[in-house]
Every structure is written in C-alpha cells, then in structure tokens.
Structure 1
Amino acid sequence: MFHKEGYKIISVTLVLFLGINVASYVAIQNDEWQIAIFSITLIFLILILQFFRNPKRKTKVDDHTVVAPVDGKVVVIEEVFEKEHFNDNRLQVSIFMSPINVHVTRHPINGDVVLSKYHPGKYLVAWHPKASEENERTTVVVKNSGIEVLYRQIAGALAKRIVNYAKEGEKVVQGSDSGFIKFGSRVDVFLPIGTEINVTLDQKVKGGESIIANV
C-alpha cells in the first residue's frame, strides 16, 4: 500500500524505468550493459516504492497515551523553552527519520486542532540544533481534556516538501494521518513538564503504535 503523496512520483518513475530499459534493449547490443542498466533502474524504483509505502498501523486509541507521530529513532529528550505557542518550558522528544523510514506523520493524540501553521525556511541537516527554528516546518497543536501536544514537522537537507493535513478547528483521531514529509527529516514533539516519557535515546519507534509518553 502506497501513500497518495507518492502516486505521481511512482507513476513517473515507472514510465522512466520502462522507457530507459526499452531504449537500452533497442540501442545497446550488449547483454552486460543491458543487465547493468536494468539493475540500476530497478534499485532506484524499489527505493522510491519503499519511501512512499504506507503500512497500516493498529493504533490502540487511548486518551492516556501519546503515540509516536512518525517512524524513526529518538534523538532528543530534553527540557526546552517552547516560544511559538506555549511560551514556557516543555519536554521535547525528537524523532529522526532516515530516507528508508516510513514518512507518514500521524496525530499523536485525540483532540481538537487548535493550531496548524506552515513556516518557510532553510534546509539544514535535520539533526542541526537550529533546524527546529530555521528550517522549513509546520507546527500543529492538538488539545483534549487531558493534554495539549505540539508537534513540528521539520524538513531536512533532502526534504523539499512538507505536506500538512491538519486544519484548525477539526477533531482528529489518534494515529490518523496528519501529513507527509518527502525524503528524510525529523519531528519534534513538545509535552508538558512532568509528563511520563516512555522512550529512551536511540530507541526506534513506529508511528501510530509506539507509546512515547503517558498522560
């Protein structure tokens, strides 16, 4: 199953794959070169298909948990000052996605979207300390009766497009699609001080399934 954001790129890649290999078969009368060209284009096609895969996730919907919004590795757990929305100290949990991770962003909690904002910016490497404030990014805040969570999609050096589906005023379900980041990046999650964190540094998590905090 593939994400809708990849339909166009997958279609173009398939056409190129077929065109290049048909052309090589007609123009190059050398089996070794034909095999090499086929192998290279096949690897590229597989990478594109893998990047846009959208596996079904079984989210255990629970108002007392915060699930990982994306697949990846936990690279930051620290107390920071969040100045865009809360203007106070928060616990930040950052998840880094490599190009081979699933890049679907999912809502970490149930609730109402109270903020959804796009920020143009730079394309520093995703683990750069200033990436959270200077890179292209989107900020989404979801609130329910138990907790208010801010999560930020951040473009990396390779990511050139962030897609955000969250709309202010709508109700969202934990684990449902919130957006998509093309070609590698990270997501920062900001939680209230005192929240019980359920992950550790370098831990790998699955979006929509791994519980990163308990409310």
Structure 2
Amino acid sequence: MSIINSIRSVLTPIHPEGYRFILVLGVITLFLLLIWGPLFWIGLAITIWCTFFFRDPKRIIPVSDDLILSPADGIISSLGSFVPPKNLEIGSEPRLRITIFMNVFNCHINRAPVRGKIINSIYRPGKFLSADLNKASEANEQHSIIIDGPHGPIVCVQIAGLVARRILNFADQGKRFEQGERIGLIRFGSRVDVFLPKGATPLVFLGQTMVAGETILASHGDMCKASPIPRTI
C-alpha cells in the first residue's frame, strides 16, 4: 500500500498552466539527444523538475468558518505585526501578518484560506528581489486579493521572488470562493503574505511547514469547537 501511495504522490495531476512548459522542454530534450547524449540527461532532469513543479494534487480541506487555512505550500518565514501595503487601502494600523515562503520544489498552487467574496483584486508591478527579504513585501511585483470572509476581511498577497517572473491570479473582484479552492499560481519560487482579520489567533510557528488548503494557519475562538468537515478538492 505504501508503494501505491508513493506512486500516486508522484503521478499527481498537472495544472494546465504547465503543459506548454513541459512540452517545450520535452522537445528541447529530444533535440539535445540528437546533439550529444549527456546533454539529454540534463534536459530530461529539467523536464522532470518542471513537471513536478506544476503538480496540482488534491487536498483534504478541513472546512470551517472558524478556521483560516494556509493559502500556500512552504515554510513560515515571518510572523508578526506589520502595516499593510498602501495600495490595499485597508488603513495604516498594523495587522498580524504571516509569511509563507515557497521554494522551487514546493507546489505553487495557492488556495483560499477562507470562504467568501473577493472585494478587491489588485496587481502591482515591481522588482524581483529575493522573496525572503522583508522589503520584498513593498518592492516586489505582487497581486493582492481581499476576501470578505466569515470573520471580516482577510488579505492574501502573492509576491514574486528572485526566480518567479509571473503571478497568475484566478480571483477576480466579485467572484466567490469556497475554502480551499484554487485562487492562483506563481512561477517559480516566491511567497504569500496573509494579513489576518482582527481577533484571529495564529496557530503556527516560524519554520513550520505548510500545506496549502490543509494546514490550519489561525482560528477564531476555540478550535476544538470549530468542528471542521473534511472535503477533498
């Protein structure tokens, strides 16, 4: 059974955004085979990595209005009170912000931390500094969405990094999302900042590994009373 599960973990669905990259790299790899054998293995390794990068596995979503889920895979690289970027227009009062850093081996599908309506979706061009720097939240290219959740507005900011050169956001203003639904994708290594609503209690620590749509980031009230209902998506 463990072997079967291992195979399934490798053969996860690929997001459609990755098809053209995999196809182009596959063609280049075949071309390299005609030029010189050792180059073929390099091309094959890169093609396999690209396929792995664009994986879109199903997740077991613990659905509850009292829970805030991680919107991204990766590790918690920052946790504290910060003033939200001015372009969000949600005031200058510091808010609790949790930062999730994604490396090039993490799954880069982003998911809705709560259910709700997108009340604002803002793209801002910028630099491509290393995403683990604090100033990246102000200087880097980013796309922010504000979700009107069950306990008030919550902000997710997709931030491009040193390698990431493209932010894909599926959350247009006015759309409604269920908790754990796919809201975007970032290529190829980046971070997501989450500004929590007032009254939310963080349940994570620095360095903790996150799984998008599954790991509980924060809660309102007693988590034991939240009674999450698992849902696969």
Unpaired runs of 5+ residues, structure 1, are 25-33
Match of residue 37 from structure 1: 39
d(CA) in 1 for partners of 2:47, 2:19: 13
Unpaired runs of 5+ residues, structure 2, are 1-12, 221-233
Contact 2:26 2:44 survives alignment (8 Å): no
Single out whichever of 173-182 and 37-46 deviates more from structure 2.
37-46
Letter in 2 for 1:11: L
d(CA) in 2 for partners of 1:184, 1:144: 27
Report whether the alignment pairs 1:4 with 2:8: no
Report whether the alignment pairs 1:14 with 2:19: no
1:142-185 Cα deviation digits (max 9, x unpaired): 01332321010000011000001101111111111111100100
Give the secondary-structure state (helix, strand or coil) at the position aligned to 1:53. coil
Single out whichever of 95-104 and 191-200 deviates more from structure 2.
191-200
Give the secondary-structure state (helix, strand or coil) at the position aligned to 2:59. coil
d(CA) in 1 for partners of 2:148, 2:142: 20
For residues 136-175 of structure 1, the aligned pairs below 5 Å read: 136-175=141-180
d(CA) in 1 for partners of 2:40, 2:19: 22
Shift of 1:193: 4.0
- CA root-mean-square deviation: 1.2
Letter in 2 for 1:21: L
1:116-162 Cα deviation digits (max 9, x unpaired): 01000000110122111110000101013323210100000110000
For residues 6-85 of structure 1, the aligned pairs below 5 Å read: 6-24=18-36, 34=37, 36-82=38-84, 83=86, 84-85=88-89
Percentage of pairs with the same residue: 39
Give the secondary-structure state (helix, strand or coil) at the position aligned to 1:175. coil
Letter in 1 for 2:167: I
d(CA) in 2 for partners of 1:11, 1:208: 29
Give the secondary-structure state (helix, strand or coil) at the position aligned to 2:21. helix
Match of residue 90 from structure 2: 86
TM-score, structure 2 length as denominator?
Answer: 0.85
d(CA) in 2 for partners of 1:155, 1:170: 23
How many residue pairs align between the two structures?
A: 205
d(CA) in 2 for partners of 1:17, 1:78: 45
Letter in 1 for 2:60: K
Letter in 1 for 2:217: I
d(CA) in 1 for partners of 2:72, 2:192: 7
d(CA) in 2 for partners of 1:85, 1:140: 12
- Higher CA-based Rg: 1
d(CA) in 2 for partners of 1:201, 1:72: 11
TM-score, structure 1 length as denominator?
Answer: 0.92
Q: Structure 1 residue runs of 4+, over 4 Å off? A: none
